Amino acid sequence: MTVDPSDCPNLSSIRLAGRGLRLRPWDPDSRADVEAWLRGLTDPEFARWNTPLAPVTDRAAARNSLRVRAGRCADGTSVSFLIADAESGATLGHIGATDIRRALGAATLGYWVLPEARGQGVATRALSLVARWGHHELGLHRLELNHAVGHEVSCRVAEKCGFRYEGTMRGSVFEAGRRDAFRDAHLHARLATDPEPETWPEAP
C-alpha cells in the first residue's frame, strides 16, 4: 500500500501540555537540549535497559542524533518530545512516537526520565498525554511500547496508562551495552477503541 505524502504531516510544530508538563520537539541547535539529551542517553539506569542502535557518547553525537530525529519529525514518520516541567521549564526527560505507520494507523512509543525527575510520575503523565494525542489528534488506531524483561518501572507506567501486556518478544532488543547479543522484551499496546483508564494521572 502506498501512502500519500500528505498523510504524513510535518510534526515539528506539535506542542502538548497538561498534567503539570509541557512537551515540545527537541532542538538540535540548543546547547541545553543537546546537553540534556547526552545526559539522558549516558545515564547508567538508561544504559541498563536500553542500547541505542548508534552510540551517543559525546556532544557531537548527541547533536547529530537530535538532527536525525528532527528530520524524521519534519517528514512525519516520528516525533520526539522533550518533557519539561510546566512551571519551572526544567527538562525532565524524553518521550517519542517512532515508526509512525500511517497505512496501519500505528506507532511505537518510548520514554526515559532524567535521574533528578524520577519518582514523580513524569513518564506516566507524559505517556498519558502522548497516547491521547496519538489516538485523538493523529488518528492512530494502535500504539505500542516495549521494554526489556525485568524493567518493572516501565511495565507499571504502561499499565497505568492503559497499555495492556500482550506477550513476550523473544530476543527482540539488545543486551545492555552490546549489539551482538539479544534479550527478551515485553510488548504492551493500547488501541483507540480501548476504554480509557478510570483515572488518568495528574500532576503530583
The reported pLDDT for the residue numbered 157 is 96
| Confidence label for 56 from pLDDT (cuts 50, 70 and 90) | very high
Please report the pLDDT score of residue 204 as a whole number: 59
Burial class of 178 by CB neighbour count within 10 A (0 to 12, 13 to 18, 19+)? exposed
pLDDT, mean of residues 64-79: 95
**146 DSSP β-pair partners:** 187
Q: For all residues of the chain together, what is the average pLDDT?
A: 92
What are the phi and psi torsion angles at 165 (to 5°)? Answer: -75, 125
- The answer to pTM > 0.95 is no
**Residue 63 burial (CB count, 10 A):** 19
Does residue 100 surpass a pLDDT of 50?
A: yes
> How is the beta sheet containing 106-113 ordered, strand by strand?
16-18, 21-25, 79-85, 91-101, 106-113, 142-148, 182-191, 164-174
Cβ atoms of 157 and 111 within 8 Å: the answer is yes
Picking from 94, 51, 71, the residue whose alpha carbon sits closest to that of residue 10 is: 71
Give the model's confidence band at 7: pLDDT under 50 very low, under 70 low, under 90 confident, else very high: low
**Which grid cell is 101?**
505507520
pLDDT class for 4, splitting at 50, 70, 90?
very low
* pLDDT at res. 10: 87
Beta-carbon contacts of residue 98 (< 8 Å; ≥ 6 apart) = 72, 78, 80, 107, 108, 109, 110
Read off the C-alpha cell for 134. Answer: 496519538
Question: Is 50 exceeded by the pLDDT of residue 1?
Answer: no
- Between strands 106-113 and 79-85, the pairing is unpaired
SS3 assignment, position 57: coil
**How many Cα atoms occupy the beta-carbon half-sphere of 148 within 13 Å?**
16
Q: How far apart are CA 9 and CA 77, in angstroms?
A: 9
Chain segment 153-182, per-residue pLDDT in tens = 999 999 999 999 999 999 999 999 999 999
Rounded Cα distance, 5 and 162, in Å: 31
Is the dihedral angle over the CA atoms 62, 64, 65, 69 positive or is it negative? positive
112-150 per-position pLDDT tens digit: 999 999 999 999 999 999 999 999 999 999 999 999 999
